[in-house]
Amino acid sequence: MRSCKILSHENDLPENVVVGSSVAIDTETGGLNLHRDRLCVIQLAFDDGSCHIVQIKKNATSAPNLQKILTNVDITKIFHFGRFDIAILYQTFGVLTQNVYCTKIASKLVRTYTEKHGLKTLCRELIGVEISKEQQSSDWAANVLSEAQKVYASQDVIYLHDLMKILNEKLHRENRYEMAEQCFKFLPYRALLDCKGWNNEDIFAHI
């Protein structure tokens, strides 16, 4: 299990955060309904081994330093099931995340021998790490997060860089990397469709 330096913030990242070419991002919410449940926590893992836990207070609508990262096309934002994270970030801050990578989409394109594409499974199979999901359903809207919650939140992002590297190798091996890239380009707009009411409709279907 990898250790990392966990730093806590409220409502936004500090201005002096050094961002490399990529950042791993995940979110914690009060539930899974985009139109009912609010964003509570954003966790970000950077190349330097640090993990930033940002608590988003109720009614917060702006996080300028974070928003600059989300919209910067020169920084790759790595998600696992980015469709939901990108959507809740849009619902909260009104910005659509650009230049994204989703390890779940990559897994589905290259690990076609299984239907198990959860983060826990990927960590176990690809990098030999067991992560706990015990805190997944805890109260993320609490005023003070427990140490267990912070550790859980950090584990959801600190391995995404490694997973992206391994999955990219497999995508290139199977000649599916370009297809994955096009899926990633569309992903922010798939999330936007969710926000605008097309969450349960396949607009590409014949019927």
Mean predicted lDDT score pLDDT of the chain: 95
Contact 54, 43 (CB under 8 A): yes
* Region for residue 116 given its phi and psi (left: phi exceeds 0; alpha: psi -120 to 50; beta: otherwise): beta
176 pLDDT exceeds 60? yes
Question: What's residue 49's pLDDT?
Answer: 84
The pLDDT tens digits for 36-60 are 999 999 999 998 889 999 999 999 9
Three-state SS for 20-79 is CCEEEEEEEECCCCCCCCCEEEEEEECCCCEEEEEECCCCCCCCHHHHHHHHCCCCEEEE
Q: Mean pLDDT across the stretch 103-125? A: 98
pLDDT reading at 134 higher than 90: no
Give yes or no for residue 79 having a pLDDT over 70. Answer: yes
DSSP the chain: ----EEEEEESS--TT----SEEEEEEEESSS-TTTPPEEEEEEE-TTSEEEEEE--TT----HHHHHHHH-TTSEEEESSHHHHHHHHHHHHS----SEEEHHHHHHHH-TT-S---HHHHHHHHH------TTTTS-TT-SS--HHHHHHHHHTTTTHHHHHHHHHHHHHHTT-HHHHHHHHHHHHHHHHHHHTT-TT--TTS--
At residue 207, the pLDDT reads: 83
Euclidean distance between the first and final Cα of the chain, in Å? 47
pLDDT above 80: residue 152: yes
Percent of the chain with pLDDT over 90: 88
What's the whole-number mean pLDDT along residues 70-76? 97
CB atoms within 10 A of CB 168: 15
Q: Binning pLDDT at 50, 70 and 90, where does residue 136 land?
A: low
Q: What is the pTM of this model?
A: 0.95
Q: Say what percent of the chain tops pLDDT 70.
A: 97
Checking if the pLDDT of 198 tops 60, the result is yes
Residue 187, strand partner residues: none
Q: Which CATH class is domain 5-195?
A: alpha beta
